[in-house]
Amino acid sequence: MSAPSTGGASRDGYGAALLRLAADQRVVVLEADLGKSTKSCLFREAHPERTISLGIAEQNMILVAAGMSSSGKIPFASTFAIFTERGFEQVRNGVARPGLVVHLCGSHGGIHTGTDGSSAQSIEDLALYRTIPGMTVMHPCDDLSAEELTVQLLGHENPSYTRTARNKTPRMYDGDSCKKLRIGKGSILREGSDVAIISCGVMVSESIKAAEYLFSKGISAAVVDMHTLKPLDKDLIDELADTCKGIVTAEDHSVIGGLGSAVAEHLSSRGDTPMRMIGVSDRFGESGTPEQLMESLGMTHKDIVNSCESLVS
Please tell me which residue, 4 or 76, carries the higher pLDDT value: 76
Query: Are both 35 and 136 inside the same structural domain?
Result: yes
Q: What confidence category does residue 270 fall into, taking pLDDT thresholds of 50, 70 and 90?
A: confident
Distances (CA, A) of 168 to 113, 124, 163, 216: 12, 22, 14, 27
The span from the CA of 283 to the CA of 31, in Å, is: 30
CATH number at residue 242: 3.40.50.920
Q: Which of 171, 200, 232 lies at the terminal end of a domain, its last residue? A: 171
Is 177 within the bounds of a domain? no
Nearest CA to 17 among 149, 139, 173, 136?
A: 149
Query: Are both 210 and 88 inside the same structural domain?
Result: no
The domain of 240 spans: 182-312
Query: Are both 239 and 218 inside the same structural domain?
Result: yes
CATH number at residue 164: 3.40.50.970
* pLDDT value of residue 213: 98
Cα torsion 87, 107, 189, 199 to 10°: value is: -60
CA atoms within 13 A on the CB side of 52: 18
Does the annotation count 85 as an active-site position?
Answer: no
Mean pLDDT of 32-57: 96
Tell me the pTM.
0.96
Which one of the listed residues 31, 45, 58, 191 is annotated catalytic? 58
Look at the alpha carbons of 147, 253, 258, 158 in this order and tell me if their dihedral is positive or negative: negative
* pLDDT value of residue 4: 56
* pLDDT value of residue 1: 46
Query: Are both 93 and 226 inside the same structural domain?
Result: no
Number of structural domains (the chain) is 2
User: pLDDT tens, 81-126?
Assistant: 999 999 999 999 999 999 999 999 999 999 988 788 999 999 999 9
Mean pLDDT of the chain: 95
